[in-house]
Amino acid sequence: MTDVKHMKWWGWGVEGVGFHFEDKPDFVPFVQKAVALDVRTPPVPPLSFDQLTVAPPRLSPSFEAELVAIVGEDNAHTSDEVRVVHTYGKSIRDLLRIRRNEIARVPDIVVYPADEWDVQQIVDAAVSQGAVIIPFGGGSNIAGSLEPLPDEQRTIVSLDLGRLNQVLEIDEGSGLARIQAGAQGPDIEEQLGAKGWTLGHFPDSFTHSTLGGWVATRSSGMQSDKYGDIADIARGLRMVRPGTVVELRPLPSTSTGPSVREMIIGSEGRLGVITEVTVQVHRTPEVREVQAYFFPNWKAGLAAMHEISESDASPSVTRVSDARESGFSLATRKASKGVTGAAQSVLMSVLKRRGWVLDDMCLSFIGYEGAASHVSYEKKLVGAIVKKHGGIGVGKGPGALYDQKKFDTPYLRDFLLDRGAAADVSETAAPWSRLQEVYDTTVAAAQRAYDALGVHGWIMCHLSHSYHSGACLYFTFAFVHGDDPIAQYEVVKYSIQQAFQDAGGTLSHHHGVGVEHAPWMEQDISAGGVALIQGLFDSADPQHLFNPGKVLGPVQLGKADVELLVESTDAKRAVPAPAEH
């Protein structure tokens, strides 16, 4: 049995780790107010694995023997549990389907290659058999980028890159590192850190996602303000295709026609299997700290983040939560005692005397990295901007806690699912001039969806990933679901995604397209843009063997279809099936 690390089949992360509210006194009343749920209600655990209905593999003995000969018996698996682990990502739709025993199609075999040559042999064997190939990294995707098409009749091979997990080489003179695509975030930072380097890419999924997955879905990390998105970080790569390897050298810049590198980044396995990426790395900073700030309201926080992006300051993190998410963050704190608790009470009293409405208060985290003198200089620049917009600094204590707990939030979804509530996220990016409109439009659209469903719902947001021209808005939404949670989820999700388009945002900033966001591709990049991508996929993969259905999807929803879906008050209504493009 392979020793590749996997998340549990029914939820996020590893067995034995979960969210607990007993030491967070404000959490129970917060959730009661937000979604009318008493979290003290005894949880309903997921099904046991033996309750799942898993179809047997559709796999010829000769093809199975050929794959086993390539990777060895210990690295080719047809067991139900291994196949189910490789069926879905970790979106709320994925978790609901697993928990409801709704598994339409699973991979027929999971293979774990040891190196690029193994990958080449697997790809060539699968193509010769007319089998589908779905590359698999950490399984953390929440956009439906992993799932097989439900009506797929061909054999499906899940190609897990987990054994390709090494930093192969560091070019210290150039600040470049060659890293295998299956390396997960902690593996990368441990190996780089041992030699004094960091990649600086820390998405929410960091502990369970891979470099290849980041590139394939155009990921962004929490410190992208300093280090860039993965499209900036990935300078070269290797990708296996039938009978060949695409090799892109890590050159600082080239003028060689349309960028093949850009075609591959975000391609979600549609063009081949990424086996290796050369990334730009940085020396481990002398100082790294995250400072916390409060702003009197969301408008002030947005204005401050905008001004910081235009200033000489270059923080690694610029994040501000709206009042709702700030309230959530404060509700998940542990009980404060002694001096700390007294200091918090004094601070709230001071803010009230200043005329702040505490329910409108917004929490911000700003990160700094570099030499001590540089960090000191940047903190002064940012501090002046924060003060100009009515904000105050509250030190690095809250920031340190955020830094420690930033990868734990996904566990909260499992906690809520156990209690009959669905929670998920959608994120977008828009120019600074449109951010407030995107925010207002999205919040209003979500509320209309909740009203149509007759549920008490919640939506909250934070700004992160600032750029010269705009920023990312990251929304979290939740509600207590009924007997058909997926249909209800679709009403809310589709409302939010359409609001992004209506207000001038994009369908996703860093989660990718998969099948979840494919219905909005034409609205996002135009019919001409869709035709270009479709032409690329058809030419590069005429048999549609490489992760078919992702990015453009099997169908496209028009805006009218979405509006009809949202207007329906029937929670059990199916998603309309528009004409294929």
Angle at 128 between CA 123 and CA 130, to 5 degrees: 90
Residue type, 434: R
Give the 3-state secondary structure of residue 93. Answer: helix
Residues in the chain: 581
Q: What is the C-alpha R_g of the chain?
A: 24
Tokens 């041992």 belong to which residue? 194
Contact 419, 39 (CB under 8 A): yes
How far is the CA of 339 from the CAs of 22, 335, 346, 347, 401, in angstroms?
Answer: 22, 12, 10, 12, 17
CA–CA distance, 379 with 385 (Å, rounded to integer): 10
The structure tokens listed for 229 are 């998105």
Q: Which residues pair with 109 in a beta bridge?
A: 157
Q: Are 557 and 490 in contact (CB under 8 A)?
A: no
Q: What is the DSSP string of 456-513?
A: -EEEEEEEEEE-SSEEEEEEEEEEE--S-HHHHHHHHHHHHHHHHHHHT--S-SSS--
Which residue(s) pair with 236 in the sheet? 278
Contact 235, 96 (CB under 8 A): no
Euclidean distance between CA atoms 483 and 479, whole angstroms:
13
pLDDT at 333: 83
- Rounded to an integer, what distance in angstroms lies between the CA atom of residue 100 and that of residue 203? 29
Q: How far apart are CA 303 and CA 308, in angstroms?
A: 9
Asked if residues 38 and 28 have their Cβ atoms less than 8 Å apart, the reply is: yes
Q: Let me know: does 143 contact 514? Beta carbons within 8 Å.
A: yes
Measured torsion, CA atoms of residues 146, 150, 151, 152, in degrees rounded to the nearest 10: 20
- Which helix (H) or strand (E) segment is 537 a member of? helix 521-540
**Residue in the block written with tokens 């030491």:** 23
Q: Which of 23, 10, 124, 150 is nearest to 69 (CA)?
A: 124
In terms of C-beta density within 10 A (0-12 exposed, 13-18 middle, 19 or more buried), how is residue 130 classed?
exposed
Which tokens go with 318?
């610029």
Identify the helix (H) or strand (E) that includes residue 301: helix 298-310
Side-by-side strand order, sheet with 317-321: 392-393, 287-295, 362-370, 317-321, 457-466, 470-480, 421-431
Residue 186 and residue 275 in contact, taking contact as beta carbons nearer than 8 Å: no
Task: Report how far Cα 259 is from the mean position of its chain's Cα atoms.
Answer: 25
* Non-local CB neighbours of 352 within 8 Å, separated by 6+ positions: 358
**What's the angle, vertex CA 101, arms to CA 97 and CA 104, rounded to 5?**
70
- Region of 455 (left: φ > 0; alpha: ψ -120 to 50; beta: rest) is beta
SS3 call for 362: strand
Catalytically active residues, by annotation: 474
Q: The tokens of 362 are what?
A: 């917004």
Structure confidence at residue 473 (pLDDT): 98
Closest CA to 263 of 218, 222, 294: 218
SS3 content of the chain, % helix, strand, coil (to 5): 40, 20, 40
- Spatial distance between the Cα atoms of 124 and 9, rounded to a whole number of angstroms: 29
Backbone dihedral region for residue 268 (phi beyond 0: left; psi -120 to 50: alpha; all else: beta): left
Chain centroid offset of residue 229 CA: 13
Q: What is the pLDDT of residue 570?
A: 45
From first to last of the 581 residues of the chain, give the pLDDT tens digit: 578 989 999 999 988 888 888 888 899 999 999 999 999 989 988 889 999 999 999 999 999 999 999 999 999 999 999 999 999 999 999 999 999 999 999 999 999 999 999 999 999 999 999 999 999 999 999 999 999 999 999 999 999 999 999 999 999 999 999 999 999 999 999 999 999 999 999 999 999 999 999 999 999 999 999 999 999 999 999 999 999 999 999 999 999 999 999 999 999 999 999 999 999 999 999 999 999 999 999 999 999 999 999 999 999 999 999 999 999 998 988 776 544 555 677 777 778 778 788 889 999 999 999 999 999 999 999 999 999 999 999 988 777 777 667 777 889 999 999 999 999 999 999 999 999 999 999 999 999 999 999 999 999 999 999 999 999 999 999 999 999 999 999 999 999 999 999 999 999 999 999 999 999 999 999 999 999 999 999 999 999 999 999 999 874 444 555 455 455 444 433 333 333 33
Strands 132-136 and 156-160: parallel
CA-nearest of 212, 160, 163, 145 to 185 is 212
The residue behind tokens 């042999």 is 121
pLDDT for the residue 567: 55
